[in-house]
Each structure stands twice: as structure tokens, then as C-alpha cells.
Amino acid sequence: MKIVYRISTMTNDLPNHLHDKVHETAELIAKATKVVVFTGAGVSTESGIPDFRSPGGLWSKFDPDDFTIERFLYSPETRKRQWKFLLEEGIFSQAQPNAAHKAIAWLEAIGKLTCVITQNVDDLHQKAGNSSEKVYELHGNMKWLKCLDCFERYPLEDLLSRFRGTDEVPACVRCQGILKPDVIFFGESLPTKTLKDATYAASNCDLLIVIGSSLVVYPAAYIPLYAKGGGAKLVIINKTETSYDANADVVIHGGAGEVMNGIVAVLQKMDVSCA
């Protein structure tokens, strides 16, 4: 079965400095049997989700200390500010997948993708069509709130609908425990099983494609090293340089959606079909 993926950018629309590298990356994908994609904030920003550190990012609107687990646990005012932020912004619930997300989902549909390892918490890979079991979320998912006492999980959208227009901060229905966004705060460890599965996938792939990550947040940024250590080819797609560029087989400085559209266009011309 041939999967149809409609693109808005053809390869002849790409800037000259991207053209050859996009073709080279497409050829690596065509030859690979175990492709792993690692995504960072540069993918989410194209869906309107601000990153944390850039001018105008979330840290300019929100105190980073409020994202420490200690502050969240012991400060009711911190929890109130976070809930108010979630109510007013709605950025995670309203965001939609962009061209890069859709291209990554297409790689799964044609049988090339082993998994997506992501630093993002926006659920957009799943919305684009990637299987939930193939998305390793290193930093959690803002789609859920979790009780810190009994571990019951609640869909964020349900609680936003119920509490919008009130000053009340929701608590766990079952035990009245504190509800926390199901994401990793400063001072928390990454989920052990997710990190173990992601490390294994990266160490055993034959091609790792980094998209939209500056590769400065550890331990997630070790993923490219695991891939290279296992003998995989490494492609880095990011608007700015990273400290791993010298280790990569292909480096493309460009936007995630534009570059991934171009790669899909080349693969379609090569008639790379379902495995």
C-alpha cells in the first residue's frame, strides 16, 4: 500500500544551500532499516509553542524557579500561578501538528521509523499520527495532570473546562492530593523506563535524525552519542549550530518543516514505499 503525504514544498523550492543535504539525508533514510528521530523545541515552535530560553519564550513570562519540584510541592502560590498560566495560555491544547510532525508520522507509516524520542511535552507527534507506543517522551506530556499521592491521571482538557472562570485550583477527586502537570520539573529524574527504552533504540538504530534540538539539555542530549557509538549515521537538522555538528554525517541549518517537507519530496520521487 502506498501512503499519500501531501507536501507544500518541493525540492526545487528549497534554497540552494539545503538542496544537496536534503537529497543526501533522503538517501540515508532510503538505505536505513532502523530510523530513530530525536526532536526538540525547534519542532514545537513551528506549531506556535514558544520555547523556554529564547527572547519572548516561557521564561520571560514565568519564573523558572516555579518549575522546580521543591517549589511546586511546598508553595500553594506556585501551584496557583501554574494553574492560572495553563488556563490563560492554552498553548498546548490548541496547538496543531506542523509539517515536520506530519513528515515524521509519514516515516512511521512507510515502515522506516523505529521510534521518536522527544524532549517536547505537547503530544503533537501523536496528534500527527505517530503511534503512542513509538513516542518516547523524555520530559512527559502536558496532556495529563497526575496526583502526587495516589498517581491517578486526569486529562488536562477536562479540568480546564471544569475550572475555567473560577479561582479554584483542582485537586485529585479520589484523594484530594496535589495535581501536577505530568512533565519533568527541575529536580526530578527522567522516567527510568522511557530513558532506558530511548537509549536502547538509539544505540541499535542505523540512522538517527535530530530535528530542532540545540542538544544542550542532559541527559537527553546523550542520545546522539549512543547512536554514533552503535555505528549509526547521524543527521542534525536545526536552525543554529550545535556542539554535536562535528560528529554528524549531515548537518542542515534550516527550519524543521521546510527541511522535512523537502526530504519527503525526495523520498516520494525515489518511490520509497511501505516496508
CB burial of 9-40 (b: ≥16 within 10 Å; e: otherwise) equals bebeebeeebeebbbebbebbeebebbbbbbb
CA 271 distance to own-chain centroid: 28
**104 Cβ contact partners less than 8 Å away, ≥ 6 residues apart:** 37, 39, 113, 116, 125, 128, 130, 211, 260
* Nearest-angstrom CA–CA distance, 123 and 155: 12
CA torsion sign for 116, 117, 120, 122 is: positive
Q: For residues 192 and 194, what is the distance between their CA atoms, to the nearest angstrom?
A: 6
- Which amino acid, 274? C
Q: How would you class 56 by CB atoms within 10 Å of its CB: exposed for 0-12, middle for 13-18, buried for 19 or more? A: exposed
HSE of 68 in the Cβ direction (CA atoms, 13 Å)? 8
Is the Cβ–Cβ distance between 36 and 205 less than 8 Å? yes
CA–CA distance, 55 with 77 (Å, rounded to integer): 26
- Catalytic residue of the set 23, 101, 125, 139: 139
Can 253 be counted among the known catalytic residues?
no
CB 107 within 8 A of CB 29: yes
On whether the CB atoms of residues 117 and 136 are closer than 8 A, the answer is yes
Active-site positions read 139
